[in-house]
Amino acid sequence: MKLPDAEARRQTENLSSSELAACQLLRLNHLLEVILPGNRFYAEKLAGTRLPLQSLDELAELPYTFKNELVGTAAEGDLAANLTYPLERYVRFHRTSGTRGRPLVVLDTADDWQWWVETWQYVLDSAEITSADRALLAFSFGPFIGFWSAHDALVARGALVIPSGGMNSAARLDLIRVSQANCLFCTPSYALHLADAAAENQLNVARLPIDRIVVAGEPGGSLPAVRQRIEAAWDARVVDHAGASEVGPWGYADRAGRGLHIIESEFIAEFLSLESGGAAGEGELSELVLTTLGRAGSPVIRYRTGDLVRPSWNTDGTNRFVLLEGGVLGRVDDMLIIRGVNVFPGSVEQILRGFPEVVEYRMRASKQHEMDSLLVEIEDRLEAPERVARELRLRLGLRVDVRCVPLGSLPRFEGKGKRFVDER
Strands 336-338 and 371-380: unpaired
345-352 vs 224-234: helix crossing angle, rounded to 10: 40
Task: Tell me the pLDDT tens digit for each residue of 173-230.
Answer: 999 999 999 999 998 889 988 998 999 889 999 999 999 999 988 777 888 888 999 9
Highest mean pLDDT among 225-234, 263-272, 316-325, 401-410: 263-272
In our burial notation (b when 16+ CB lie closer than 10 A, e otherwise), range 27-54 reads bbeebbeebbeebebbeebbeeeeeebe
Q: What is the mean pLDDT of the chain?
A: 90
Q: H-helix or E-strand containing 374?
A: strand 371-380
Mean pLDDT calculated for residue range 374-388: 94
Find the mean pLDDT for residues 131-142.
92
**Residue 87's pLDDT band (cuts 50, 70, 90):** very high
Count of domains forming the chain: 2
Residue 258's pLDDT is 86
Report pLDDT for 268.
Answer: 98
Q: Same domain, yes or no, for 345 and 269?
A: no
Q: Are residues 234 and 109 in the same domain?
A: yes
Domain span at residue 173? Answer: 1-331
Same domain, 340 and 224: no
Q: Which residues contact 207 (CB under 8 A, 6 or more apart)?
A: none
- Cα(68)–Cα(198) distance, integer angstroms: 41
CB contact at 8 A, 272 and 280: yes
For residue 193, what is the domain's CATH number?
3.40.50.12780
**Among residues 61, 52, 112, which one has the least CA distance to residue 82?**
112
- Kindly state the percentage of the chain with pLDDT values over 90: 67
Q: Indicate whether 320 and 391 sit together in one domain.
A: no
| pLDDT > 60? residue 2 | no
- Confidence bin at 101 (pLDDT 50/70/90): low
- Which run of H or E residues covers position 36? none
Q: Cβ neighbours of residue 147 under 8 Å, at least 6 residues apart? A: 137, 139, 185, 186, 216
Q: What is the pLDDT of residues 284-295, one digit of tens each?
A: 999 999 999 999
Q: Show which of 331, 358, 379 is a domain's final residue.
A: 331
The pLDDT-based confidence of 382 (bands split at 50, 70, 90) is very high
* Of 316, 331, 346, the domain-final residue: 331
Query: What are 136's strand-pairing partners?
Result: 162, 184
Do 99 and 164 belong together in one domain? Answer: yes
CA distance 203 to 43: 57
**Would you place residue 143 in the very low, low, confident or very high pLDDT band (cuts 50, 70, 90)?**
confident
User: For position 315, what pLDDT does the model report?
Assistant: 66
Provide the pLDDT confidence category of residue 266 given band limits of 50, 70 and 90. very high
Query: Which residue, 305, 331, 357, sits at the end of a domain?
Result: 331
Hey, how many other C-beta atoms are within 10 angstroms of the C-beta on 110? Answer: 12
Nearest alpha carbon to residue 258 among 311, 306, 188? 311
Which region among 57-66, 366-375, 384-393 has the lowest average model confidence (pLDDT)?
A: 366-375
